[in-house]
């Protein structure tokens, strides 16, 4: 019986040994494959992280450039709006002086000379504003452009209402009653027509500057 057990053990041992060797080799191979796989995954992960960092850096650069451009554009708009607003007010003040029904001329000038000076002052300020406005429309939105166009149209009508009477009088013609009345009441159109448009322009300017 003992001999039989010994024979069985001897016959089984090679099989067990072979199985153990096979298992050992299999585990070694699995470990090697897993190790290579883990290294490959780590390499891919590192490459992904590097690429992601590069893309984030590019996005940050683009955002910074866009923010810089927006900031410069906003600064430029601020500068243009400030210049336009000042020029608009200068022009209006000179118009009001020109069309005022009450004028206090300097002693060294005749009334006609003083009128000519007021006319020239307004004309110069008007051209100054129109040039500034035309050259910088690209920085203005459509609403502001429409408001300023409307402002200029109404203001020029007021100017011509006064100027027509002056021109005809200087030419030796006697203006009719309607022309004289339009000239004498032209100053009233400023608070009635010009001021509301100017207020709208101011509100649009403020809205842009507060963004």
175 near 165, Cβ under 8 Å? Answer: yes
Residue 15: pLDDT band (50, 70, 90) is: low
Phi first, then psi: give them for residue 174, nearest 5 degrees: -100, 115
Rounded Cα–Cα distance for residues 74 and 5 (Å): 98
The stretch 126-138 carries a mean pLDDT of: 95
- Whether residue 89 is predicted with pLDDT greater than 80 in this model: the reply is yes
Mean pLDDT value of segment 190-203: 94
Contact (Cβ atoms closer than 8 angstroms) between residue 164 and residue 179: yes
Query: What pLDDT is attached to residue 75?
Result: 82
Average pLDDT, stretch 25-48?
Answer: 67
Give the mean pLDDT of 190-197.
94
Mean pLDDT of the chain: 81
More confident residue, 71 or 177: 177
The pLDDT of residue 118 is above 70: yes
How far is residue 151's CA from residue 139's CA, in Å, rounded to a whole number? 18
* Contact residues for 205 (Cβ-Cβ < 8 A; gap 6+): 81, 85, 144
pLDDT confidence of residue 29: 62
Residue 203 has pLDDT above 60, yes or no: yes
pLDDT (tens digit per residue) in 140-158: 999 999 999 999 999 999 9
The winner for highest mean pLDDT among 1-10, 58-67, 154-163 is 154-163
More confident residue, 169 or 96: 96
Query: 72-81: per-residue pLDDT in tens?
Result: 767 888 899 9
Q: Which two tokens stand for residue 148?
A: 């300023």
Query: According to the model, what pLDDT value does residue 90 have?
Result: 95
- Residues near 63 by beta carbon (within 8 Å), at least 6 away in sequence: none
């Amino acid at each position: 019986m003992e001999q039989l057990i010994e024979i069985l053990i001897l016959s089984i041992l090679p099989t067990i040994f072979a199985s153990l060797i096979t298992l050992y080799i299999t585990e070694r191979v699995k470990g090697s494959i897993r190790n290579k796989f883990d290294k490959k995954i780590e390499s891919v992960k590192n490459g992904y992280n590097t690429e992601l960092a590069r893309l984030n850096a590019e996005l940050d650069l683009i955002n910074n450039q866009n923010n810089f451009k927006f900031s410069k554009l906003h600064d430029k708009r601020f500068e243009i709006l400030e210049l336009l607003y000042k020029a608009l007010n200068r022009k209006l003040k000179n118009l009001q002086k020109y069309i005022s029904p009450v004028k206090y001329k300097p002693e060294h000038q005749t009334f006609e000379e003083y009128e000519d000076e007021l006319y020239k002052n307004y004309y110069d300020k008007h051209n100054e504003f129109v040039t500034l406005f035309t050259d910088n429309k690209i920085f203005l939105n459509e609403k502001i452009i429409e408001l300023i166009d409307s402002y200029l149209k109404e203001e020029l009508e007021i100017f011509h209402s006064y100027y027509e009477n002056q021109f005809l009088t200087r030419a030796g013609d006697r203006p009719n009653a309607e022309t004289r009345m339009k000239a004498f009441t032209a100053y009233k159109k400023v608070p009635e027509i010009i001021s509301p448009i100017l207020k709208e322009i101011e509100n649009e300017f403020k809205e842009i500057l507060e963004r």
